[in-house]
Structure formats: C-alpha cells, structure tokens
Amino acid sequence: MPIATLKRLPPIRAWLRKRALRKYFTQRGIGYHSGHFSTFAQARAWLPPSPEFSHDQFTDEYVHQRSHRIWAFDYPVLFWLRKALEEGSTTILDIGGSIGNQFYAYQHYLSYPPGLEWRVHELPAFIQEGRDLAAAREAHGLHFSDEWPGDWLSSDIWIAAGAIEFMETDNLPALLARADRKPRHLLLNKLPLTEASAFVSTQNIGFGSYVPHHVFNRQAFISAIEDHGYEKIDAWEVPERTFMSLGFAADCFDTYSGLYFRLKD
C-alpha cells in the first residue's frame, strides 16, 4: 500500500497527529503553529499556561537584534513609507511595534521629517524598556502607550507588522471606526491570510510561551478595510514566513502576506 494511502488510515492519522503535537510542545516546535479553534478562549484552554509575549527574552531580542537590521519583507514597507512621508505625513501609529525596532531600523534608509511623531502601541511589558531605550538613544519622536489615545488613532500612517493577528478584540476595522480622522495610509506586513475560512490557531513563540492568534480569510480581511473607504494599492508575499501547523496539515499555507491601503479621496 502506498505511503500516502497509509497516512490516510484513521489509526495512522491519529498516531501522526499525536506525534506532531508532542513536537509542538517542545523546543523543536518553536515557530510552528497548531490547533484550530473559533475563539482565543478555546485556544488558551487547550494551551499550557505561559506568559505569552510578556517575557523578558523578547524585549532583549528586539533591543539587540531587530532594532539594528531589516529583512527582505521590510522593503515594500520602506518603499511606500518613503512616499507617504514625502507627501507630508508626520505622524505614525506603529501597532505592536515592540521597543520601536522599526523606527530604529528604518532610520538608516529613510530621511525622517522634522518633528516626526512615531507612536508605538504595545503591551505593558515592552513599554518601559522602549521608553528607557528611546531616552538613551535620544529618540525624542518615539512614544509608547498600551492604550489608544484619540489623537494616536488619527495618525497619518498606521503600520502593523506581525501584530494584528495576536489582537483578540481590537481588530483593525474596529480601530478604524473609532478614529476621528482615518489614517491616510495603512501598511500591513507579515499577515497570515488564507483562502480558507478564518479561524484561531496558536503559535509556539519560544521561551516556553504559546500564544493564540487569528488566521484571516484573505478576501474578507481586504473587504473589511475597503468598506472603511480604502483602496488596496499593493500586495506582496512574505516567503520568510510560512504557516506550518503541526497536527493540522489542512490549515498550512506557504507564505504570509503584506498589504498597502490608501484612503480614497
């Protein structure tokens, strides 16, 4: 009997899933995903307790690595961000921007306008580290909050790179609805978009931490933003990010996505 046929037999499928899940909940599972749920609550009930992103090792990684370099998937963002700044944008809301790593990394490739306000919305665990680093590096235009100040939501540009999927309640359309003045530019990077129905999965992010996150249906995600008056200008693949779900092979897809939207005149 061919191996592919053997793997479809119920006892073999059950054994393979059990083996995949054992891997997921070890060091060998770091970076992988697993689980298929409707809500974050269901996902957290399935996961072992963990600090999720509130772990000192993550802030250390962002300070010493990610604030000093860019990756291939940053170049589309740099291209459109430069144009937005040249058009006169002076305020940026960086959703999930950790300790301001994109502010620091991008400054080597862009000329920031005088008085640029770069506003980072983050978890409390990152904020004090970000403020201390900004003071040490004299990054006077870099600010941090774990809330959504009204003027922040009215920033000219919103950037979100690998953060939106981890937000349980404050989804992007809901935030846009709360803005007194909608942002002119939306730069969204490292998005888990699938052609299948949306669902909630989890990710082993290392250091004994596991987090639930959304996987969005591509067309529904794009349509929800377009309904707020935006036009999709650009889209790109992020092949450095793949969605490999241990024990849930049907959920897998090969590449994450990036999107740029501009508010219609």
pLDDT tens digits, residue range 158-185? 999 999 999 998 899 999 999 999 999 9
| 95 backbone dihedrals φ, ψ, rounded to 5° | -80, 120
18 domain residue, yes or no: no
4 domain residue, yes or no: no
Asked if the model's pLDDT at residue 255 lies above 70, the reply is yes
26 domain residue, yes or no: no
Asked if the model's pLDDT at residue 9 lies above 50, the reply is no
The answer to whether 192 and 215 are in contact (CB under 8 A) is: yes
pLDDT tens digits, residue range 70-104? 999 999 999 999 999 999 999 999 999 999 999 99
96 domain residue, yes or no: yes
CA separation for the pair 154, 184 (Å, rounded) = 9
Mean pLDDT over each residue of the chain, to the nearest integer: 91
pLDDT class of 59 with cuts at 50, 70, 90: low
> Whole-model pTM?
0.91
15 domain residue, yes or no: no
Centroid of chain to Cα 207:
19
CA separation for the pair 253, 255 (Å, rounded) = 6
CATH number at residue 123: 3.40.50.150
49 domain residue, yes or no: yes
1 domain residue, yes or no: no
Minimal CA–CA distance to 91: which of 135, 137, 142, 164?
A: 142
Its domain, for residue 162, covers 32-263
Q: What's residue 207's pLDDT?
A: 87
24 domain residue, yes or no: no
Q: Hey, what amino acid is at 135?
A: A
What the block records as the tokens of 226 is 């377009």
What the block records as the tokens of 109 is 């490739």
Q: Structurally, how many domains does the chain consist of?
A: 1
> Residue 259 carries which DSSP code?
E
Q: What's residue 61's pLDDT?
A: 59
Asked if the model's pLDDT at residue 209 lies above 60, the reply is yes
CA separation for the pair 213, 203 (Å, rounded) = 7
